[in-house]
Amino acid sequence: DAKTTQPTSMDCAEGRAANLPCNHSTISGNEYVYWYRQIHSQGPQYIIHGLKNNETNEMASLIITEDRKSSTLILPHATLRDTAVYYCIVLHNNAGNMLTFGGGTRLMVKP
């Protein structure tokens, strides 16, 4: 699976958009980009995933660059409850259902 690089930490003001970047320059054509987050003392939470096109759901939007070497997760109106560690993962569809999280980005939403 391709390696990802994310900033260690970011701050965001409550009510503003949080834009979390992820670099995955070695991504291959059939690898998907997945985002999860983990709020302190809770299990990880699936957010969104995509292959080529931008995706949006009730939680977030995922913007993938045309060359697919990077992506951005956007939380349109961050709340204090969005404070968490956000993980960007690149997965091949036959990687055996195993999720592995790297360091992730610790997002702190401030009032």
Partner 1 sequence: KAGVTQTPRYLIKTRGQQVTLSCSPISGHRSVSWYQQTPGQGLQFLFEYFSETQRNKGNFPGRFSGRQFSNSRSEMNVSTLELGDSALYLCASSLAGGVSSYEQYFGPGTRLTVT
* CB environment 17-26: b (16+ within 10 A), e (fewer): ebebebbbee
Residues 42-61 that bind partner 1 (CB under 8 A): 42-46, 49
Is 98 among the residues that bind partner 1 (CB under 8 A)?
yes
| 100 makes contact with partner 1 (CB under 8 A) | yes
Tokens of 9: 């930490």
Identity of the residue, 12 or 73, whose beta carbon is nearer to partner 1 in the bound complex: 73
d(CA 26, CA 79): 33
In the complex, the residues that contact partner 1 under the rule CB under 8 A are 32, 34, 42-46, 49, 89, 91, 93, 96-102
